[in-house]
Structure 1
Amino acid sequence: MSEYHSEEAEAENMEDNDTLGADFENLMYSADTTADQAPNRKDDIQGISWDKLSVTREEHTKSRLQSYRNYENIPNSGEAAGKDCLKTEKGSSFYMFKKNFRSVKPTILHFQLTELVWATSNHDVYLMSNHSITHWSSLTSSGDEVLDLAGHVTPSEEHPGSLLEGFSKTQVSSLAVKDGMVVAGGFSGELICKHLDRPGVSFCYRLTCEENAITNSVNIHKNSSGALHFMVSSNDGGVRNFDMETYQLVQHFHCPWPVNHSSVSPDGKLLTIVGDDLDGLLVDSNNGETVGKLTGHLDYSFASAWHPDGLTFATGNQDKTCRVWDVRNLSKSVAVLKGNLGAIRSIKFTSDGQYMAMAEAADFVHIYNTDTGYMKEQEIDFFGEISGISFSPDTESLFIGIWDRSYGSLMEFARDRVSGSSV
């Protein structure tokens, strides 16, 4: 993973938005936008008053596509990867815009790490906002702080291996919220665990004392025996598996390159590992032995996710593509899906497996109907860096975190049971 911070990349790509000449004072404090206020996109879903600007929305979108600089570790990887991509049919409506919450301010610590939004119900969302893990309710349009990491955090429970002295001013680079648990990974190898229904922090741990210690991703899952675990991927090449009940490290696999993301199959038996290497790995989660290599991406990967069927999974790459794989034949991707603007930095499947969403670094989230072989696509476009995407467990909601100096917000979409079911 690149060692330079999101502020540098964000500032360069946000110059386009600054040239709009808008009254940012008014934009930053404008009211939430609802579906009723944006019928058929006559009004912008982000509340941007295009009629007051010297440029149209279409013109600004075109300008962004032309000027946005996609970060690549391998030069020209995005251009080279386009030839293999599926020609999808756009225009589907799987999820309908419901509301844009302007009072929510999602943030990103590092521009390559954007899994910082997690929905635990169709109205409860957890996200990073500066140094705070924040809960937002779309029912009440209100939020509350779950954990303030700007100060000093110490564990309130006793567990072997826990750092009783805790941590100060933790910069959170990765987050997972699931099954009543919060796990946050820090920029310097910190690991902080908390029960949502208990006060205080349960466990503090330092993954490594190496200088290159960024915690790149956290994945809460059930192992092959059904026990709740969490997997942590780190820039030191480590993939560490912890028991959620005891917080004990039960497995530690090591790769020769920084691991940017890992995800566990629904049955807990297989593990996808991607990072600063062109090839990803499919690994036996019990012993760490490589089951197969994932060959086809042309740059470094930062996202992965499993379909609920346990047979297919997807990986997202800086070559602007998402590749879908079948464990029964890894020699060729099932589908190669192309982004518009930049790297694919987050991928999520609905719990029923019917839809897959992939988020680019900014401006675009794509939703595919898996039942059509990923041919049918809905494209959601807006302006701003994406801090994370998350389907609700019941599949009824999709939340998108937008990190932007002027347009930062949390977007809510509702499953389209009328138009979407007919596709």
Structure 2
Amino acid sequence: MAQFQNHELEYMVDDYYDMTDFDDNPIEDTESQRNGVDESSNSDIEDDFDKSKPKTDTSALEARNGKDIQGIPWERLNFTRDKYRETRLKEYKNYENLSRSREELEKECKQVEKGHNFYDFQFNTRLVKSTIVHFQLRNLLWATSKHDVYLMQNYSVMHWSSLLRRGKEVLNVAKPIMPTLKCPGSLGQTLSRVQISTMAVKDNLMVAGGFQGELICKYLCQSGVAFSTKITTDENAITNAVDIYRNPNGSMRVMTANNDAQIRVFDAGNFACLGRFSFPWSVNNTSVSPDGKLMAVLGDSPECLIADAQSGKVVGNLKGHLDYSFASAWHPDGRILATGNQDTTCRLWDIRNLSESVAVLKGRMGAIRAIRFTSDGRFMAMAEAADFVHIFDTWSDYAKAQEIDLFGEIAGISFSPDTEALFVGVADRTYGSVLEFNRRHYNRYLDSII
């Protein structure tokens, strides 16, 4: 993965989000910040109305009555939403590390029936506002229930309650972080001013990776940080991905993927490093299968790998993508692995036959940077770097889809564990927010009663 440099990305139209948006006092109690607006920065969509007025959230009722779900006042702008979308699709430039012909790729892509509605818009809030550190890493939002969402906002990990509609800071990584867990031989270190590049939350444990190779582990039910350290001193050492999983014996583990071409495994109890696996290229993403036996390894190569999660031994090669990959997710049954790539596609692989992908799903305009399955396996969501989230019905063999059309860089997506909600983090300087969608249910038995 490319090391982030502002001067290299200054004119990039694609996945760019400027690190200068980071505020040394991210939770300062100002009117603009309470309403999720940074008045010192600009948006892709500028409006000329009075910015001193409070920005309101958007409810499902308001959306049904014609209000834009992100609160963008199209009626006050010099162009319509449709016109801006048309222009955006024409001018958007997808970031590529490898420039290769996409002609044959288009022929491979599955024909999908769009226009379905599996999840309905419920609420959009700007009281919390997603932010991004690295333009290629978009795993910065996690839902632990249909009412609880964790996301990055500048130097703060925020908790958003969709029930109370209230945000609260859980962790401030600008301040010194001192690990509270004391174990013999522990590699814990005090950290400060960490720029969170990736995160995961599961079973009361929050794990975050940093731009300089940091690892932070916090139990949500306890104050302070249990463990923090720099897991590598390599100059190009970004922690690109973290995963929380249980091994075949049921023990909880933390896995990290770094730009130093290594994957590391930590015990989630005492955070001792249990293993270190090296690969030929920077590892951009890793995810462990539901049974804890296999791991997907994706990085600075068109080829993806399947490896034994205990030994790190490569047991399969996945060939078909044309660029670097940054996203992966396992279907809950453990048979299907989905991989997202900068070639604008998501490939589905049957773990029982890795000779070729079983399906290729195409994005609308950009790289696939995040993928999630619902816990029941019914739906799969994939997020592009900006503007589009696609939800596929796995029961239709991924042939039916819903397209969520919005504006702004996507910081992360997450289904709630009960599958009832889908949350999307948008990292825009003016319209940055968290959007909530609720699962649509068809109660056909009521029709028979009527």
Among candidates 167, 189, 193, match of residue 213 of structure 2: 189
Q: Report the Cα distance in structure 1 between the residues aligned to 2:146 and 2:422, rounded to whole angstroms.
A: 8
- Residue 274 (structure 1) aligned with residue 293 (structure 2): no
Residue in structure 2 matched with residue 2 of structure 1 by the alignment: 2
> When the two structures are aligned, how many residues end up with a matched partner?
419
> 1:85: Cα distance to partner?
0.6
- Segments of structure 2 that go 5 or more residues without pairing to the other structure are 17-41, 446-450
Q: Report the Cα distance in structure 1 between the residues aligned to 2:83 and 2:444, rounded to whole angstroms.
A: 29
Aligned AA for 1:333?
A: S
Q: What are the superposed Cα offsets for residues 140-170 of structure 1, whole Å, 9 maximum, x if unpaired?
A: 1101111100111111221244455511111
> 1:248: Cα distance to partner?
1.1
Residue in structure 2 matched with residue 132 of structure 1 by the alignment: 156
Residue in structure 1 matched with residue 74 of structure 2 by the alignment: 50
Q: What are the superposed Cα offsets for residues 31-87 of structure 1, whole Å, 9 maximum, x if unpaired?
A: 0001101118x3311111211211111110111111111110011465653231111
> 1:314: Cα distance to partner?
0.2
- Residue 38 (structure 1) aligned with residue 38 (structure 2): no
- Residue 299 (structure 1) aligned with residue 323 (structure 2): yes
Residue 80 to residue 403, structure 1, CA distance change in 2 (3 Å): farther
Q: Report the Cα distance in structure 1 between the residues aligned to 2:255 and 2:249, rounded to whole angstroms.
A: 15
Aligned AA for 1:65?
A: L
Among candidates 289, 298, 301, match of residue 265 of structure 1: 289
Residue in structure 1 matched with residue 259 of structure 2 by the alignment: 235
Among candidates 265, 269, 277, match of residue 245 of structure 1: 269
Q: Report the Cα distance in structure 2 between the residues aligned to 1:377 and 1:53, rounded to whole angstroms.
A: 31
Residue in structure 1 matched with residue 27 of structure 2 by the alignment: none
Residue in structure 2 matched with residue 13 of structure 1 by the alignment: 13
Q: Report the Cα distance in structure 2 between the residues aligned to 1:127 and 1:18, rounded to whole angstroms.
A: 20
3-state SS of the aligned residue for 1:82?
A: helix
> 1:8: Cα distance to partner?
6.3
Map 1:401-412 → 2, pairs under 5 A: 401-412=425-436
Aligned AA for 1:23?
A: D
> 1:90: Cα distance to partner?
0.2
Among candidates 352, 367, 370, match of residue 391 of structure 2: 367
Among candidates 40, 47, 63, match of residue 22 of structure 1: 47
Map 1:9-408 → 2, pairs under 5 A: 9=9, 12-13=12-13, 20-23=45-48, 26=51, 29-39=54-64, 42-76=66-100, 81-163=105-187, 165-408=189-432
Residue 400 to residue 19, structure 1, CA distance change in 2 (3 Å): closer
Residue 82 to residue 305, structure 1, CA distance change in 2 (3 Å): same
> 1:29: Cα distance to partner?
4.1
Residue 420 to residue 57, structure 1, CA distance change in 2 (3 Å): farther
Residue 147 to residue 420, structure 1, CA distance change in 2 (3 Å): farther
Contact 2:187 2:272 (C-alpha < 8 Å) held by counterparts:
no
Residue 381 to residue 160, structure 1, CA distance change in 2 (3 Å): farther
Q: What are the superposed Cα offsets for residues 283-320 of structure 1, whole Å, 9 maximum, x if unpaired?
A: 11122111110000000000000000111110000000
Q: Report the Cα distance in structure 2 between the residues aligned to 1:259 and 1:81, rounded to whole angstroms.
A: 24
Aligned AA for 2:2?
A: S
3-state SS of the aligned residue for 2:106?
A: helix
Contact 1:339 1:360 (C-alpha < 8 Å) held by counterparts:
yes
Q: Report the Cα distance in structure 2 between the residues aligned to 1:283 and 1:275, rounded to whole angstroms.
A: 13
Residue in structure 1 matched with residue 38 of structure 2 by the alignment: none
Q: What are the superposed Cα offsets for residues 362-382 of structure 1, whole Å, 9 maximum, x if unpaired?
A: 000000001111000000010
Residue 8 to residue 418, structure 1, CA distance change in 2 (3 Å): farther
Contact 1:162 1:205 (C-alpha < 8 Å) held by counterparts:
no
Aligned AA for 1:89?
A: E
Q: Report the Cα distance in structure 2 between the residues aligned to 1:360 and 1:337, rounded to whole angstroms.
A: 12
> 1:104: Cα distance to partner?
1.2
3-state SS of the aligned residue for 1:120?
A: strand
Q: Report the Cα distance in structure 2 between the residues aligned to 1:190 and 1:109, rounded to whole angstroms.
A: 14
Aligned AA for 2:58?
A: T
Aligned AA for 1:396?
A: E
> 1:177: Cα distance to partner?
0.9
Q: Report the Cα distance in structure 2 between the residues aligned to 1:347 and 1:30, rounded to whole angstroms.
A: 30
Q: Report the Cα distance in structure 2 between the residues aligned to 1:110 and 1:208, rounded to whole angstroms.
A: 18
Q: Report the Cα distance in structure 1 between the residues aligned to 2:259 and 2:53, rounded to whole angstroms.
A: 35
Using the size of structure 2 for normalisation, the TM-score is 0.89
| RMSD, aligned CA | 2.1
Residue 417 to residue 19, structure 1, CA distance change in 2 (3 Å): closer
Q: Report the Cα distance in structure 2 between the residues aligned to 1:359 and 1:232, rounded to whole angstroms.
A: 22
3-state SS of the aligned residue for 1:245?
A: coil
3-state SS of the aligned residue for 1:47?
A: coil
> 1:120: Cα distance to partner?
0.2
Contact 1:176 1:220 (C-alpha < 8 Å) held by counterparts:
yes
Q: What are the superposed Cα offsets for residues 332-375 of structure 1, whole Å, 9 maximum, x if unpaired?
A: 21110001121000000000000000000000000000111100
Q: Report the Cα distance in structure 1 between the residues aligned to 2:102 and 2:249, rounded to whole angstroms.
A: 40
3-state SS of the aligned residue for 1:13?
A: coil
Residue 38 to residue 117, structure 1, CA distance change in 2 (3 Å): same
> 1:12: Cα distance to partner?
4.0
Q: Report the Cα distance in structure 1 between the residues aligned to 2:103 and 2:9, rounded to whole angstroms.
A: 20
Contact 1:272 1:281 (C-alpha < 8 Å) held by counterparts:
yes
> 1:230: Cα distance to partner?
1.0
Q: Report the Cα distance in structure 2 between the residues aligned to 1:10 and 1:402, rounded to whole angstroms.
A: 20
Q: What are the superposed Cα offsets for residues 170-210 of structure 1, whole Å, 9 maximum, x if unpaired?
A: 11111111100111111111111111011111111221111
Residue 20 to residue 411, structure 1, CA distance change in 2 (3 Å): closer
Residue 79 to residue 149, structure 1, CA distance change in 2 (3 Å): farther
Aligned AA for 1:167?
A: L
